[in-house]
């Protein structure tokens, strides 16, 4: 009466379908997961995995694979490190199935070291030291052991709308005092126009500004860290920006946001202090403003100085502990960041200012008409080459830099939001950072 | 074909399901021995696959989180050396509850629930009642339209509304500004409403659906009779419809409470755009941040356990409240 | 919905006006994104949001969307479908069996088991996802399709729906009668009970389908390789790359438009079944 006899197979059928799909899936996943099989004896190339979030870095990986028969690099594009990429790398090390080579910010290297997650690659790449800019190379060296090969950094420069400055009769601001005066003139000319956006969301930017003023937040002495996020130079910087905020001379908005993009396009924001890689961003964001931009060095605290800083350091390639092929991984890391072909590709895709010492073979940094045209014919690479040389190299990254970034961003946000002094945000970050380090059992002076 | 009691079965089936004791529906006890043994085997086959999966993917992680929350990882000196794991008992819980910003995030979550839950229930109920009032011109069309955003993932919804919350890209804010109404949804005063709006947009249609189903299950003779007696539309709605769909309203409320406790994706996506959202804006975000940005999964586990406990207290507390106040919900 | 009485014109207008306003509200973001998807990156932020720009380039944007990174967007769409369809189907089968058993069998610990399962509905996703990562990592499953699929196959809410539906729609007399006819218990479940529970099964499937489709945290935690990403994760990855290359803004917008249209189309075509579930007779067919 229910006709069940004819319908029996339904569940069985369902089961079969499931099994079939699952089997198909298994095929997919086993094809997709990284094969390790540590045999380098046969003709098979050694396969290593490389995790990075740099857009279009696959071009460099392809170039490596094309020129190397014995090593096959498989690229995994991952979420940017601070957004979760690092946490996954660390967990994979703990679980014993890490990627071989990973993208690491200079600031993250100490974090990985305290988690015992990096392979000592001194024997594989130690000889290459002289090929790199010294301060960049040193970011990967701890206790005379090499843990990372530097890739690129973001020496800071000031992008500015030359047409706006010219039309207002403003000279390029070489000092912060002149910068302040220019800010007043620009805002007075049009209430919608500001000299720059105060990027509350951007810890690296805030750190760069402090670093340029001479701040040195972390020093290692006698097996303990000295933390001075509230040092004089930092507070001086905070007070300067406080003045601009209080007088409404800067626009408080997140950089890279859609609002900021619009402001860059329509000239409401006239300058941007940023890394060398920002040139591609400007060209992409505001193609209609071609020819109106120029680049100058950062304004100075003391007239006549030439002090620069970086956008929170830069990025390196490191080999994770537990890699089945550390030698091949290190070989790839070195090639990626020093071979002229690769460095050229990296520079072209906007990875940053190369860490190699000799940039004469990097064609992208010689003559780049399509880039220079956007800046009214200016050779902007000169500015950044100069900036790179002027970076204060004594800056040291501590463990828990991620805590530093998120605490600084949170505190600056809440100061801006609540109208409390910006300087307090740095003092609060100092307290947060000391507490976080001590919680981890790390000694603080 | 069995069509007996079609109407009542339909009514019961369509009444929104609610948890509770199943009543005396179990097969009669006096069964024959042959079927009994076979029944036992069948029972296991039916119940085991889910139970095993549930144990592996729900229970095990919770147990793991509980254990994890009792430990911490410490380094020493400058920190460059293998770290050590230490048992610290409830210290992570003390750290979490002693942190002003984490406690503030719990308070913020409470405030958010107070905004979101009434907003959601009232909106979806109003839409359901209007569509079923008999006065709507194209009820089917509107119903589908309201339901559509349910299929847009939370991250994408947050990305979209993110554009609409920024004056430079939002035609809505530009329009309001033109008539002298200047709103800033992402300011610290507005951001909870901005997030509530994203959730409302996504889920009001779904909840409306549950309520419409309940309204449809009411035999229409019931209110036709009342109308003939001269009852106004308001009194029919208030005295007949609302009491009869009460269980569904409770279901929608519980769903919304659970949803608000999970608040995570929307603030995560909007965070870079505003000064009003910190990295520990909600407890879930704080846990995620601890685990994924700050490398402290132990503290994250403690935070997550606290959120789960708060969730249990809220949901069961609410159910208890409505059960005591009126007749049983089921 | 029987229009049995004459409606006062004023209230008809008022009701429909409210409904139209609500429709505008629900449509607005979708409309914005579809229009934005036709714009050039330059016009995206510079032209009025609710109207097309002077030089629409919808096809160019679409072809960029599907060719960027070797056509990875298409893979993300397929992955989303795969995760959702397979996960929801297995979840439906598992929870139907378990819910039916809890409804129709008396066994020790029945109510305890049910309460524990119900408790699972209340557990926030963050509580599960992070520790689950460590557990699956130990099993070597993270980074594979399984890491997202397996946890998606468990739907406590589905068990609860199935139990309610089994109670309401599968009369005990039917089971008894089938037993007397000599049918085994599994056969009774597989061929009689499931048929009576169809509305609940459809609901469980669709509910879980949407849940998996919308899931963000689980894939975020579990997956590394972009080739295994679902749409949600892929688009947020691109969104994070806008920091390095503003061209990605247009990709994110176009991708959002395509996936929103896809899902809305899915919802609209499936809402028939949601409705069928909630209003059709349990013994239909």
Tell if the CB–CB gap between A440 and B79 is shorter than 8 Å.
yes
Q: Quick one: which H or E segment has residue A74?
A: strand A71-77
Q: Looking at residues C233-253, what average pLDDT do you find?
A: 83
Q: Is B160–C267 a contact, with Cβ atoms under 8 angstroms apart?
A: no
Task: Read off the pLDDT of residues A127-158 as tens digits, 9 standing for 90 and up.
Answer: 999 999 888 898 899 888 999 999 999 899 99
The pLDDT tens digits for A14-28 are: 333 333 433 333 333
What Cα–Cα distance (Å) separates residue B308 from each residue in A116, B71, B217?
32, 19, 35
pLDDT of A421: 95
Give the gap in angstroms from C-alpha C70 to the nearest C-alpha of chain B: 22
pLDDT per residue as tens digits for the range C49-82? 778 887 788 888 899 899 888 889 999 999 999 9
Residues in chain A within 8 Å Cβ distance of C225: 32, 76-77
Residue B264 with chain C: CB contacts under 8 Å: 125-126, 217
Render pLDDT for A78-131 as a digit per residue (tens, 0 to 9). Answer: 877 777 788 888 888 877 889 999 999 999 999 898 888 999 999 999 999 999
Cα end-to-end span (Å), chain B? 30
Mean pLDDT of the region C135-151: 89
The whole-number pLDDT of residue C121 equals 79
C188 DSSP assignment: I
Checking if the pLDDT of A47 tops 90, the result is yes
- Tell me the pLDDT tens digit for each residue of A283-313: 888 888 999 999 999 999 999 999 999 988 8
Which positions 89-108 of C are in contact with A (Cβ < 8 Å)? 89-90, 93
Provide the pairing of β-strand A148-161 with A271-275.
Answer: antiparallel
CATH 3.40.190.10 domain residues, chain A = 46-153+313-365, 154-311+368-439
pLDDT band of residue C274 (cuts 50, 70, 90) is low
The secondary element (H helix, E strand) that includes residue C102 is helix C58-104
Asked if the C-beta of A262 comes within 8 angstroms of chain B's C-beta atoms, the answer is yes
Percent of chain C with pLDDT over 90: 31
Question: What is the reported pLDDT for A286?
Answer: 86
Is B289 an 8 Å CB contact of chain A?
A: yes
Q: Identify the pLDDT of residue B22.
A: 39
On average, the pLDDT of chain B sits at: 81
User: Among A94, A95, A91, A112, which residue's Cα sits nearest to residue A103?
Assistant: A112
Residues of chain B contacting C26 with CB distance shorter than 8 Å: 145-146, 148-149, 201, 205
Q: How many CB atoms lie within 10 A of CB A193?
A: 20
Q: What is the 3-state secondary structure (H, E, C) of chain B?
A: CCCCCHHHHHHHHHCCCCCCCCCCCCCCCCCCHHHHHHHHHHHHHHHHHHHHHHHHHHHHHHHHHHHHCCEEEECCCCCCCCCEEEECCCHHHHHHHHCHHHHHHHHHHHHHHHHHHHHHHHHHHHHHHHHCCCCCCCHHHHHHHHHHHHHCCHHHHHHHHHHHCCCCCCHHHHHHHHCCCCCCCCCCCCHHHHHHHHHHHHHHHHHHHHHHHHHHHCCHHHHHHHHHCCCCHHHHHHHHHHHHCHHHHHHHHHHHHHHHHCCCHHHHHHHHHCCCCCCCCCHHHHHHHHHHCCCCHHHHHHHHHHHHHHHHHHHHHHHHHHHHHCCCCC
Query: Do the Cβ atoms of B78 and A403 come within 8 Å?
Result: no
Burial environment of residue B328 by CB neighbours within 10 A (0 to 12, 13 to 18, 19 or more): exposed
DSSP annotation string for A180-200 = HHHHHHHHHH-TT-BS-EE-T
The CATH superfamily holding the domain A46-153+313-365 is: Periplasmic binding protein-like II (3.40.190.10)
Residue B313: which pLDDT band, with cuts at 50, 70 and 90? confident
* Gap between the Cα atoms of B32 and B271, Å rounded: 64
Query: Sorting pLDDT into bands at 50, 70 and 90, what band is A390?
Result: confident
CATH number of A154-311+368-439: 3.30.1300.10, 3.40.190.10, 3.20.20.70, 3.50.50.60?
3.40.190.10
Better-predicted residue by pLDDT, B116 or A35: B116
Confidence (pLDDT) at A38: 41
Residues in contact with A14: Cβ distance below 8 Å, sequence separation at least 6, in sequence order:
C89, C93
String of DSSP letters for A164-178: HHHHTTPPP--BHHH
Tokens of A228: 């001075």
| Per-residue pLDDT reduced to its tens digit, B252-279 | 888 888 888 888 889 988 988 888 888 8
Amino acid A16: pLDDT: 38
Cα C177 from Cα C165, distance rounded (Å): 20
**Residues of chain C found within 8 Å of residue B305, distances taken between Cβ atoms:** 127
Number of Cβ within a 10 Å radius of residue B42 = 21
Q: Quick check: C267 pLDDT over 80?
A: no
Cα dist. B156→A18, C58, C225 in Å?
Answer: 30, 20, 20
Residue from the list C26, C111, C151 with its beta carbon closest to the beta carbon of B57: C151
pLDDT band at C6 (very low <50, low <70, confident <90, very high): low
Residue B201 CA to residue B152 CA, distance in Å, equals 10
Domain C66-279 has CATH 2.20.25.90: no
Strand pairing partners for A49? Answer: A74
Strand ranges, E, within chain C: none
User: C269 vs C94, which has greater pLDDT?
Assistant: C94
Kind plus residue range of the DSSP H or E element containing C235: helix C231-241
The span from the CA of B110 to the CA of B93, in Å, is: 19
**Best CA proximity match to B243, nearest among B227, B229, B222, B225:** B222
- Which helix (H) or strand (E) segment holds residue A310: the answer is strand A310-319
> Quick one: pLDDT band at residue C40, thresholds 50, 70, 90?
confident
Residues of B in contact with C42 (CB under 8 A): none
Q: Does residue B294 carry a pLDDT above 80?
A: no
Task: State pLDDT tens for residues A66-85.
Answer: 999 999 999 988 877 777 78
Q: Is A151 helix (H, G, I), strand (E, B) or coil?
A: strand
The mean pLDDT of chain A is 86
Average pLDDT value for residue range B206-231:
84
Chains that touch B (3 or more CB pairs under 8 A): A, C
* Residue A281 to chain C, least CA–CA distance (Å): 6
Per-residue confidence (pLDDT) for residue B2, from 0 to 100? 37
pTM for the model stands at: 0.81
Instruction: Tell me what percent of the residues of chain C surpass a pLDDT of 70.
Output: 91
Q: Which of B24, B46, B165, B315 to mutate to test the interface with C (most CBs of C within 10 A)?
A: B46
Q: Which position has the higher pLDDT, A173 or B244?
A: A173
Which of A218, A228, A239 is CA-nearest to residue A110? A218
Confidence at residue B244, expressed as pLDDT on a 0 to 100 scale: 85
User: Is residue C181 over pLDDT 90?
Assistant: no
For residue A207, pLDDT over 90 is answered with yes
Q: Are C152 and C103 in contact (CB under 8 A)?
A: no
Looking at domain B100-325, its CATH superfamily turns out to be MetI-like (1.10.3720.10)
Q: What is the pLDDT of residue C2?
A: 45
> How do the domains of chain C map onto residue ranges?
66-279
- A273 C-beta neighbours (distance < 10 Å), count: 22
Strand partners, A319: A101
Give me chain C's average pLDDT, please: 84
Alpha carbons A40 and A418: distance in angstroms, whole number? 61
Q: Is C57 helix (H, G, I), strand (E, B) or coil?
A: coil
- Decide if A281 contacts A352 (C-beta within 8 A): no
* Contact indicator for B150, B201 with CB cutoff of 8 Å: no
Q: Which of A2, A257, A399 sits opposite B79 (nearest CB)?
A: A399
The token pair that represents B53 in the structure block: 């999966």
Alpha helices in A339-377 (DSSP H): 340-348, 369-374
Distance CA B150, CA B157 (A): 10
CB within 8 Å: C227 and A10? no
Residue B180 Ramachandran class (φ > 0 left, ψ -120 to 50 alpha, else beta)? left
ipTM of predicted complex? 0.86
Helix (H, G, I), strand (E, B) or coil at A270: coil
Task: In whole angstroms, give the CA distance from residue A269 to residue C21.
Answer: 37
From A399, A434, A407, A433, select the one nearest A118 (Cα to Cα).
Answer: A399
Residue A200 binned pLDDT confidence (cut-offs 50, 70, 90): very high
* Interface contact A41, partner B, CB < 8 A: no
Reply yes or no on whether the pLDDT at B330 is more than 60: no
Mean pLDDT in residue range A212-216: 92
Q: Phi/psi class of residue C255: alpha, beta or left (left: φ > 0; alpha: ψ in -120 to 50)?
A: alpha
Pairing relationship of beta strands A197-198 and A251-252 according to DSSP bridges: parallel
Give the C-alpha separation, A261 to B168, whole Å: 9
Of A156, A270, A254, A248, which Cα lies nearest the Cα of A198? Answer: A254
Instruction: Report the 10 Å Cβ neighbour count for B329.
Output: 18
Q: Please say if the pLDDT value at position B325 is more than 90.
A: no
Helix, strand, coil percentages for chain C (3-state, nearest 5): 75, 0, 25
Q: What confidence tier does C229 reach under pLDDT thresholds 50, 70, 90? A: very high
Residue A167 binned pLDDT confidence (cut-offs 50, 70, 90): very high
Question: Which of the given ranges, A239-253, C132-146, C226-240, has the highest pLDDT on average?
Answer: A239-253
Q: Which residue has the higher pLDDT, A379 or C43?
A: A379
What is the model's pLDDT at position B6?
34
Residues of chain A with pLDDT > 90, as a percent, come to 57
pLDDT(C280) > 60: no
User: A324: which 2 tokens?
Assistant: 């089945």
Q: CB–CB of B96/B306 below 8 Å?
A: yes
Please provide residue C107's backbone torsions phi and psi, each rounded to the nearest 5 degrees.
-150, 160
| Segment B48-65 mean pLDDT | 93
Q: What average pLDDT score do residues B12-16 get? A: 36
Work out the pLDDT band at B117, boundaries 50, 70, 90.
very high
Residue contact A409–B279, C-beta within 8 A:
yes
pLDDT, residue B86, reads 87
Note whether C172 contacts B134, CB cutoff 8 Å.
Answer: no
């Amino acid at each position: 009466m229910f006709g069940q006899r004819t319908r029996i197979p339904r569940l069985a059928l369902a089961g079969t379908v499931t099994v079939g799909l699952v089997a198909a899936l298994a095929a997919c996943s086993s094809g997709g997961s990284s094969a390790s099989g540590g045999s380098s004896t046969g003709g098979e190339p050694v396969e290593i995995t490389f995790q990075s979030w740099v857009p279009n870095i696959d071009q460099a990986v392809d170039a490596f694979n094309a020129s190397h028969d014995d090593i096959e690099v498989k690229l995994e594009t991952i979420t940017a490190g601070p957004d979760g990429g690092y946490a996954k790398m660390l967990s994979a090390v703990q679980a014993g199935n890490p990627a071989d080579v990973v993208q690491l910010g200079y600031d993250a290297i100490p974090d990985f070291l305290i988690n015992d997650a990096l392979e000592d690659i001194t024997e594989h790449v130690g000889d290459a030291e002289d090929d790199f800019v010294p301060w960049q190379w040193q970011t990967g060296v701890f206790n005379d052991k090499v843990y990372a090969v530097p890739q690129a950094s973001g020496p800071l420069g000031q992008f500015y709308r030359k047409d706006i400055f010219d039309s207002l009769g403003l000279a390029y601001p070489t000092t912060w005092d002149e910068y302040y005066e220019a800010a007043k003139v620009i805002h007075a000319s049009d209430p919608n126009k500001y000299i720059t956006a105060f990027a509350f969301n951007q810890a690296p930017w805030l750190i760069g500004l402090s670093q340029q003023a001479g701040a040195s937040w972390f020093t290692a002495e006698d097996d303990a860290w000295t933390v001075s996020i509230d040092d004089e130079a930092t507070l001086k910087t905070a007070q300067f920006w406080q003045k601009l905020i209080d007088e409404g001379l800067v626009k408080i908005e997140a950089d890279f946001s859609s609002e900021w993009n619009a402001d860059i396009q329509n000239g409401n924001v006239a300058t941007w202090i940023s890394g060398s890689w920002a040139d591609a961003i400007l060209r992409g964001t505001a193609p209609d403003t071609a020819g109106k931009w120029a680049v100058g060095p950062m304004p100075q605290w003391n007239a006549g100085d030439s002090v620069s800083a970086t956008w929170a350091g830069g990025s390196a390639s490191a080999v994770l502990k537990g890699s089945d092929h550390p030698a091949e991984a290190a070989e790839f890391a070195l090639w990626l960041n020093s071979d002229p072909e690769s460095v050229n590709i990296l520079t072209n895709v906007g990875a940053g200012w190369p860490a190699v010492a000799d940039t004469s073979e990097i064609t992208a940094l010689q003559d780049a008409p399509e880039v220079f045209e956007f800046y009214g014919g200016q050779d902007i690479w000169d500015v950044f080459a100069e900036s790179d040389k002027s970076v204060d190299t004594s800056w040291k990254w501590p463990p828990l830099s991620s805590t530093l970034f998120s605490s600084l961003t949170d505190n600056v946000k809440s100061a801006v939001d609540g109208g409390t002094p910006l300087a307090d945000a740095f003092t609060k970050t100092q307290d947060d950072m000391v507490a976080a380090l001590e919680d981890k059992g790390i000694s603080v002076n | 074909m069995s069509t007996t009691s079609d109407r009542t079965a339909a009514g019961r089936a369509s009444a929104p399901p609610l948890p509770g004791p199943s009543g005396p529906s179990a097969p009669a006890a006096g069964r024959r021995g042959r079927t009994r043994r076979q029944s036992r085997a069948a029972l296991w086959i039916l119940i085991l696959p889910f139970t095993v999966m549930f144990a592996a993917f729900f229970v095990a992680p919770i147990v793991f989180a509980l254990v994890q929350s009792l430990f911490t990882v410490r380094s020493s000196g400058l920190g460059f050396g293998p770290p050590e794991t230490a048992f610290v008992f409830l210290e992570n819980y003390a750290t979490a509850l002693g942190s002003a910003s984490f406690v503030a995030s719990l308070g913020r979550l409470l405030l958010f629930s107070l905004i979101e839950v009434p907003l959601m229930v009232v909106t979806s109920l109003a839409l359901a009642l209007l569509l079923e009032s008999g006065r709507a011109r194209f009820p089917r069309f509107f119903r589908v339209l309201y339901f559509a955003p349910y299929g847009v993932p939370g991250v994408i919804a947050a990305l979209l509304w993110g554009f609409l919350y920024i004056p430079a890209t939002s035609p809505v804010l530009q329009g309001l500004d033109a008539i002298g109404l200047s709103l800033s949804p992402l300011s610290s005063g507005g951001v909870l409403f901005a997030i509530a709006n994203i959730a409302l947009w996504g889920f009001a249609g779904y909840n409306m659906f549950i309520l419409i189903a309940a309204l449809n299950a009411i035999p229409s003779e019931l209110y036709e009779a009342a109308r003939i007696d001269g009852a106004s539309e308001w009194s029919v709605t208030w005295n007949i419809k609302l009491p009869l769909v009460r269980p569904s309203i409770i279901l929608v409320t519980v769903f919304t409470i659970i949803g608000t406790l999970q608040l995570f994706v929307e603030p995560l996506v909007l965070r870079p755009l505003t000064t009003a959202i910190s990295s520990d804006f909600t407890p879930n975000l704080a846990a995620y941040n601890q685990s994924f940005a700050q490398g402290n999964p132990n503290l994250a586990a403690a935070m997550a356990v606290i959120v789960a406990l708060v969730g249990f207290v809220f949901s069961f507390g609410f159910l208890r409240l409505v059960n005591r106040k009126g007749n049983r919900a089921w | 919905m029987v229009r049995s009485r004459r409606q006062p014109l004023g209230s008809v207008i008022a009701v429909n006006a409210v409904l139209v306003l609500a429709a505008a509200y629900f449509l607005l973001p979708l409309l914005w994104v579809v229009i934005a998807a036709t714009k050039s990156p330059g016009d995206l932020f510079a032209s009025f949001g609710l109207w097309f720009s002077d030089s629409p380039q919808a096809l160019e944007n679409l072809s960029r969307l599907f060719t960027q990174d070797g056509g990875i967007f298409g893979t993300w769409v397929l992955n989303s479908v795969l995760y959702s369809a397979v996960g929801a189907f297995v979840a439906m089968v598992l929870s139907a069996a378990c819910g039916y058993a809890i409804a129709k069998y008396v066994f020790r610990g029945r109510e305890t088991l049910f309460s524990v399962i119900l408790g699972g509905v209340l557990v926030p996703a963050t509580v599960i996802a992070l520790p689950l990562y460590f557990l699956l990592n130990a099993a070597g499953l993270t980074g594979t399709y399984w890491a997202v699929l397996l946890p998606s196959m468990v739907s406590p809410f589905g068990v609860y729906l199935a139990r309610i539906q089994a109670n309401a729609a599968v009369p005990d007399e039917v089971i008894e009668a089938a037993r007397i006819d000599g049918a085994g218990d599994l056969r009774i479940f597989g061929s009689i009970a499931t048929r009576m529970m169809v509305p609940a099964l459809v609901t469980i499937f669709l509910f879980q389908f949407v849940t998996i489709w919308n899931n963000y945290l689980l894939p975020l935690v579990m997956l590394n390789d972009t080739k295994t990403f679902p749409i949600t994760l892929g688009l947020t990855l691109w969104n994070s790359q806008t920091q390095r290359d503003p061209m990605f803004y247009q990709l994110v917008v176009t991708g959002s438009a395509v996936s929103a249209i896809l899902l809305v189309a899915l919802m609209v075509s499936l809402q028939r079944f949601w409705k069928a579930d909630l209003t059709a007779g349990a013994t239909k067919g």
